[in-house]
Homo-oligomer: A and B are copies of this chain.
Amino acid sequence: MKKTAVRSGRPAGQARQGQARPAQEKAPSPHPAEPSSGLITEDELLLASRNHAMPLEMLRWYATPAGMHYLVIHWDVPAVDPETWSLRLHGAVHRELQLRLGDLRAREARTLDVTMECAGNGRSLLKPRPVSQPWVLGGVSNAVWTGTPLSGLLAEAGLEPGAVELVFTGEDRGFQGGVEQAYARSLPVEVAASDDVLLAYEMNGQPLMPQHGFPLRLLVPGWYGMTSVKWLRSIEAVTTPFEGFQQSVAYRFQQDAEDSGTRVSRIRVRALMVPPGEADFATRRRVLAAGPTVLEGRAWSGHGAVTAVSVGIDGAWFRAHLEPAVDRYAWRRWTFPWVASEGTHELMCRAEDTAGNIQPLEQEWNYQGMGNNAVQRIEVTVRPSLADGTAFP
């Protein structure tokens, strides 16, 4: 389902008349130039403080608890009044639809467990670091989502023969790369019509929280999170491919600023590990007691089922125990018993999927820092067990 990249033809500075452009006065770009140091800028700190990461110990929970699911909020969380809100399905359709939240809740409901990951997860680990939301590794979570299949609405509206994509637009708006915009992304018709694409109004059995898109969001299982448009207000069937900012400028695999690149789509295979032992507050370095322990984590892929997870201990690889899948798009738990010996060790984990993908040991760099799935590396210091044999007094 790979599509040829279409670069937006929008020239630099072509903002709408009368609209200020607070960002840099150069060509639209998803992010400003890279800094030369390994330090983080104050602007990146502002992003990191808004766009919540899931602390990796939360990998212990199958369904990420409310409030710990990772977040990307491009601008501000909009305060949507559900009494006046409605969703419009329009464009190249036979019958335009306008639906209230109650209408959507009255339709066929479907619940899916879905692991969602930000396309930029791991970005801050790249050298040099692309400047944008500076994810370490916490841009991933798993939740139980309930909504109505989009396919039913599409059938009711009836797509015209020339419709090639559906454009999903949210209530959130602001500036990015000098362009004022409402958040909008498109999907090819054949992807949008899959039974697994939901218009979701519940997360973990509760109405969506404001930050997760209340009252309604798109949910596209297996695709990176930018696809699942929040605060959804409009679905438009279009007869030519959508070239909005978030499609043609942001979320692309590019080699440099001039490269038109290719679109980011499905989630690459990945495993992550709960950092074992205890943390240091200021550095997050880990300390573990010598002796038997069980390493654990989760693994997922948007390209098919995870087939294996391996654990690396100081460079030697071992096969982990992979627990059965709970749901098709949900991460799988893995465990690996390890007898930790005194000293410093490097732990890694690495997943493979049915499509034959395996995580790279070193990440291939790209300009926007997208699709990073290099194996996680954790350094742990193993100390002697205490005299009484208690690992953690």
A-side interface residues toward B, CB under 8 Å? 16, 18-20, 22-23, 31-32, 35, 37-50, 52-53, 55, 57-58, 60-61, 65-69, 73-77, 79, 124, 131-132, 134-136, 138, 173-177, 180, 209-212, 275, 278-287, 381, 383-387, 392-393
Q: In the bound complex, what is the Cα–Cα distance between A79 and B19 (angstroms)?
A: 49
Q: Which of B48, B74, B175, B210 contacts A65 (CB 8 A)?
A: B210
* Contact call B43/A284, Cβ cutoff below 8 A: yes
Chain A interface, >50% SS class: loop
Chain B residues with CB below 8 A from A209, complex form: 65-68
**Interchain Cβ contacts under 8 Å between A and B, 18 examples:** A18-B383, A18-B387, A22-B283, A23-B281, A31-B282, A32-B283, A37-B39, A39-B42, A42-B124, A46-B136, A46-B283, A48-B48, A49-B52, A49-B135, A57-B76, A58-B77, A67-B211, A174-B279
Chain B residues with CB below 8 A from A287, complex form: 19-20, 22, 175
* Contact call B383/A210, Cβ cutoff below 8 A: no
* Contact call A42/B43, Cβ cutoff below 8 A: no
* Contact call A280/B46, Cβ cutoff below 8 A: no
Chain B residues with CB below 8 A from A37, complex form: 37, 39
* Contact call B136/A280, Cβ cutoff below 8 A: no
- Of listed A53, A282, A387, residue having the most chain B CB within 10 A: A282
Query: A131's closest neighbor in chain B, by CB?
Result: B282
Count the copies.
Answer: 2
Q: Which of B19, B69, B176, B279 contacts A383 (CB 8 A)?
A: B19
CB A272 to nearest CB in B, in angstroms, measures 14
Known A-B contacts: A23-B282, A67-B212. Give 5 more (CB < 8 A): A55-B211, A68-B209, A174-B279, A175-B281, A180-B278
CB A42 to nearest CB in B, in angstroms, measures 6
CB A156 to nearest CB in B, in angstroms, measures 30
* Contact call A124/B282, Cβ cutoff below 8 A: no
Q: Which of B20, B40, B45, B75 contacts A279 (CB 8 A)?
A: B75
* Contact call B132/A23, Cβ cutoff below 8 A: no
Q: In the bound complex, what is the Cα–Cα distance between A45 and B16 (angstroms)?
A: 36
* Contact call B39/A278, Cβ cutoff below 8 A: no
Which 9 residue pairs of A and B lie closest in terms of their CB atoms, listed nearest first?
A67-B67, A39-B39, A20-B383, A176-B281, A40-B40, A49-B53, A175-B280, A57-B76, A22-B285
Given A45-B124, A210-B61, check contact A285 B66 (CB 8 Å).
no
Q: In the bound complex, what is the Cα–Cα distance between A267 and B336 (angstroms)?
A: 46
* Contact call A77/B55, Cβ cutoff below 8 A: yes
Chain B residues with CB below 8 A from A57, complex form: 76-77, 79
CB A43 to nearest CB in B, in angstroms, measures 5
Query: A384's closest neighbor in chain B, by CB?
Result: B18
* Contact call A279/B175, Cβ cutoff below 8 A: yes
* Contact call A22/B210, Cβ cutoff below 8 A: no
Chain B residues with CB below 8 A from A32, complex form: 282-283
* Contact call B175/A43, Cβ cutoff below 8 A: no
Chain B residues with CB below 8 A from A176, complex form: 280-282
Q: In the bound complex, what is the Cα–Cα distance between A45 and B281 (angstroms)?
A: 12
* Contact call B138/A49, Cβ cutoff below 8 A: yes
Chain B residues with CB below 8 A from A132, complex form: 282
CB A117 to nearest CB in B, in angstroms, measures 15
* Contact call A76/B279, Cβ cutoff below 8 A: yes
